[in-house]
Amino acid sequence: MNSQERERIARITLLLNELLSAPEEQTPTDTPPSTADLVAIAKSEIRARRRRQELFPNIQVADPAWDLMLELFINQAEGRRISVTGLGLSANVPGATVLRWLAMFHESGLILREPDSADRRRIWVSLTESGWEKIAMGITPSKAGQQSQRSERAEEKGSGSSWLAA
């Protein structure tokens, strides 16, 4: 083991000890993320899923239910109405799959369906308050994850490079 490896292990050990000894009350961000933060996280998840789909074009690597929920969340947060068809197109989910999932979401009290008075063929979908809250909780990073990310950023700033770098 060379000196760089020993130094790297020492930094990791120090970081782990710091994380394990830090009381929960000292976390600087006990406030929930804003809607804008949650939308940014949701959009990031969608971009990551689309990137995975590009990397593995012949393999289903998406979760259609979560993709639909994220699209509903983003559209509602940004003040846009979305139809069943539009939801399927924006989430890149086939129509029959969209209908199947929306039926389950509706039965679970996560969404509302509203017929379009101007075009009887169109149905608007939106999240219920319960649906909104559950998706927001699913998007919100865990305290452990937030703490780990903060420590990594602090370490990167302190050393000029990531502690994972060789």
Q: What Å distances lie between residue 82 and 56, 67, 121, CA to CA?
A: 28, 14, 14
Q: How far apart are CA 160 and CA 154, in angstroms?
A: 10
More confident residue, 123 or 21: 123
Q: State mean pLDDT over 6-18.
A: 71
What pLDDT shows up at residue 18? 67
Average pLDDT, the chain: 80
What pLDDT shows up at residue 25? 47
Task: Match 């068809």 to its residue by tokens.
Answer: 85
- Specify the range with the lowest mean pLDDT, choosing from 7-21, 105-119, 142-156: 142-156
Query: Is residue 81 over pLDDT 70?
Result: yes
What pLDDT shows up at residue 109? 94
Numbers of helices and strands, H then E, in the chain: 7, 3
More confident residue, 23 or 90: 90
More confident residue, 18 or 101: 101
Task: Match 């393999």 to its residue by tokens.
Answer: 59
For the chain, domain boundaries: 32-141
What pLDDT shows up at residue 162? 41
More confident residue, 63 or 90: 90
Q: How far apart are CA 2 and CA 113, in angstroms?
A: 63
* DSSP sequence for 90-102: HHT--HHHHHHHH
Q: Which CATH architecture has domain 32-141?
A: Orthogonal Bundle (1.10)
pLDDT digits (tens, 9 = 90+) for 23-74: 554 445 568 889 999 999 999 988 888 887 787 777 666 789 999 999 999 9
What pLDDT shows up at residue 47? 87
Q: Where does the pLDDT of residue 22 fall: very low under 50, low under 70, confident under 90, or very high at 90 and above? A: low
* pTM score: 0.63
